Amino acid sequence: MAVAVEVTGADSTGAGPGPGFIEVDAVEKVFSVRRRGASRLRREKHEVRAVDGISFRVARGEMVGYIGPNGAGKSTTIKMLTGILTPSGGRLRVAGIDPARERTRLSYRIGVVFGQRTTLWWDLPLRDSYRLVHRMYRIPDARYRENLARCVELLDLGELLDVPVRQLSLGQRMRGDIAAALLHDPDVLYLDEPTIGLDVVSKAEVREFLRDLNAERGTTVLLTTHDLTDIEQLCKRVMVIDHGRLMYDGELAGLHEVGRSERTLVVDLERAAAPIELEGVRVVKVEGPRQWLAFPASRSAAPIVTAVAAAYPLVDLSVREPDIEAVIAKMYAGRS
Amino acid sequence: MRLYMAVAVGGFRRYATYRVATAAGVFANTVFGFIMAYTYIALWDERPRLGGYDQAEALTFVWLGQALLMTCAMMGGGFGEELVDRIRTGDVAIDLYRPVDLQLWWLAGDLGRAAFHLIGRGIAPMVLGGLVFELVLPADPLTWVAFLVSVALGVVVSFAVRYLLALSAFWLLDGTGVLQISMLTGLFFSGMLLPLTLFPGALGEVARALPWSSLLQIPADVFLGKHTGWGLIRAYAFQAGWAVLLLGAGRALQTVATRRVVVQGG
């Protein structure tokens, strides 16, 4: 099995050859936070290293997942890449532009979607917000009409254009926001939790659109998410960040290797039985006729199911995927 | 420029969406107009020519006050709460990565809002007041034009004050207190409660020199024909001077605030 590349500190690997379209070198962001200290009157200054020396390169047209638990530094990284936060140290380049120094010039090249915030005009129809985007980015009329028509078609916005944004559902609003971020043909799209709070159908729609966008237009996409399915369906490459440090940079499959993560097969037998014995499978729990079997996430569930069904009276089964928090927790355990 | 035109049109339209709220507002303005009109009548019966106005002029002042209350946002309001809210929740970060000027963006939106409020909330109370009371309306169409120019300047001054106050949320995080203070100062120093010409001595001098007098006192005096010729130019210069000064201050504060957000993460 290939050994997944693990990145910490200033060493950078994992990116393809050639100059990166997004270049991040030993970037740090330190916030100073005042907290009430031991004495009631004085507030002590604390340093919070939200991003602690991260380096990576993203090639043009790549679609990269950027994951990690809450407070790991994901959004801070995205904010630095848009230029709305200046790094405390290190070097950043997006399309050759220093984001913090030339925020306005960069803004024409990037699109940003924050899942929990909206750029749309709350009281007015979607169409009015798009008209504003048209003027804001000085998009040539023909291009604007073409892009809008395309987004309307692919994101199924036709009937929503004249509906005030406040009346849209979360999924509809998210599609509206994604369209707003793409009307000016950005080279890079940052998505911060684009599927948060969406139902299964809406999630699938958003993912399909992003996949097409990346394939057809070659838009570079950097995606932060909590939902591992987003990554599985969209990104070949994933970066894991925790406590402001890059823990992993490579393929998703490799992440499971490194994290030694396990999937769980829950089987219901006709009656209670002794723990199932199978090679490469570990029985985690037995509860009457129900048993929990853990196996490496890199293995297919199909042969295991076949083997169990052949030897035991199987009634029902389900497979549970490892969640990202568990994977990262295991990565820590593996390191120490 | 076309962007800010579009923002202004949007500002107009977003207020125009809420028709019932507008009707309710017109009703409230009219009721307050009546209460204030009868109070003024009692006052002017006792002291005719108070503050240099006869009774008809004083009543006109009342109804102009109701007509401009929302337009010049004398009690605050408009974009203020919204901007404070965006600062508090961090949504203001979104405004920063777009190629727009923050101050011009909000100014354009506020001008659109004011235009709507002048039409939607201004005309009806003035007409209703005029049906019941004897008001002084300018005969010369040029006076109407001069009045509208003064109102426009008043809106810009009002915006500049509210923008400064809203930006304070970057440091205070909770802007409600500031907005409440601004509401009280706005009500008093614009001349909304009583014309500023009534106040004697130092208080009157100060009240007339503060920016808020641009919101109602000056437009009303232009309407009543108190400022003509050089006097009118001086009145405009006073309003424009405050507008430039306060917009400049807002711009400086915005730069500091932006740097703070960009470095500190807000």
The string of pLDDT tens digits covering residues A209-246 is 999 999 998 999 999 887 778 888 899 899 988 888 99
**Residues on chain A touching B258 (C-beta within 8 angstroms):** none
pLDDT of residue B47: 92
DSSP 8-state symbol, B229: T
**Tokens standing for A280?**
């490469």
Who has greater pLDDT, B188 or B177? B188
Strands A245-251 and A89-94: unpaired
Rounded-to-integer distance, Cα A181 and Cα A139, Å: 13
Q: Hey, of B4, B98, B260, which one would you mutate to test binding to chain A, going by the most A CBs within 10 A of its CB?
A: B98
Backbone φ/ψ region at A165: left (φ over 0), alpha (ψ -120 to 50), beta: alpha
Q: Which residues of B touch A29 (CB under 8 A)?
A: 265
Closest partner CB to A103 (pick from B6, B7, B97): B97
The pLDDT, as a whole number, for residue A336 is 47
Cα A29 to Cα A170: distance, rounded to the nearest angstrom:
32
User: Where residue A262 falls among pLDDT bands split at 50, 70, 90?
Assistant: confident
pLDDT at B266: 45
A182 CB within 8 Å of a chain B CB: no
Q: Percent of chain B having pLDDT more than 90?
A: 72
Q: What's the pLDDT score for residue A4?
A: 43
Specify the pLDDT at position A5.
43
What is the pLDDT confidence band of residue A276, given thresholds at 50, 70 and 90? confident
Q: Which residues contact residue A311 at a Cβ distance below 8 angstroms, ignoring those fewer than 6 apart?
A: A276
Alpha helix segments (H runs only) across chain B = 2-16, 19-46, 55-69, 79-89, 92-96, 102-117, 123-132, 141-167, 169-172, 176-189, 201-209, 217-223, 230-264
What is the DSSP track for A112-155?
Answer: EEETT---S-TTSBHHHHHHHHHHHTT--HHHHHHHHHHHHHHT
Average confidence (pLDDT) over A248-272? 82
Grade residue B202 by pLDDT with cuts at 50, 70 and 90.
very high
- Among the ranges given (A46-50, A101-105, B139-143), the one the predictor scored with the smallest mean pLDDT: A46-50
Q: Please say if the pLDDT value at position A38 is more than 60.
A: no
Per CB-CB distance under 8 Å, the chain B contacts of A136 are 3, 98-100
Across chain B, mean pLDDT equals 91
Report yes or no: B7 at the A interface, CB cutoff 8 Å: yes
* DSSP letter, residue A167: G
CA pair distance A253, A38, nearest whole angstrom: 47
Confidence of residue A43 (pLDDT cuts 50, 70, 90): low
Q: How large is the average pLDDT for residues A21-28?
A: 93
| B66 min Cα distance to partner chain A (Å) | 26
Least confident stretch, A196-200, A217-221, B6-10: A196-200
Say yes or no: B13 contacts chain A, CB-CB below 8 A: yes
Query: What count of residues does chain B have?
Result: 266
Chain A positions touching B264 (Cβ under 8 A) are: 31-32
Domain ranges of chain B: 2-265
Distance CA B52, CA A121 (A): 47
- A76 interface with B at CB cutoff 8 Å: yes
- For residues B109 and B102, what is the distance between their CA atoms, to the nearest angstrom? 11
Establish if A83 touches chain B: CB-CB under 8 angstroms.
Answer: yes
Please tell me the predicted confidence (pLDDT) of residue A11.
Answer: 37
Q: Distance, in angstroms, between A229 CA and closest chain B CA?
A: 27
Do A121 and B265 count as a contact with CB atoms less than 8 A apart? no
Collapsing DSSP states into helix, strand and coil, what is residue A317?
Answer: strand
For the record, the structure tokens of A133 come out as 């985007």
Record the pTM: 0.82
Report residue B35 as tokens: 């209460």
Q: For residue range A109-154, list pLDDT tens digits in order.
A: 999 998 778 888 888 899 999 999 999 999 999 999 999 999 998 8
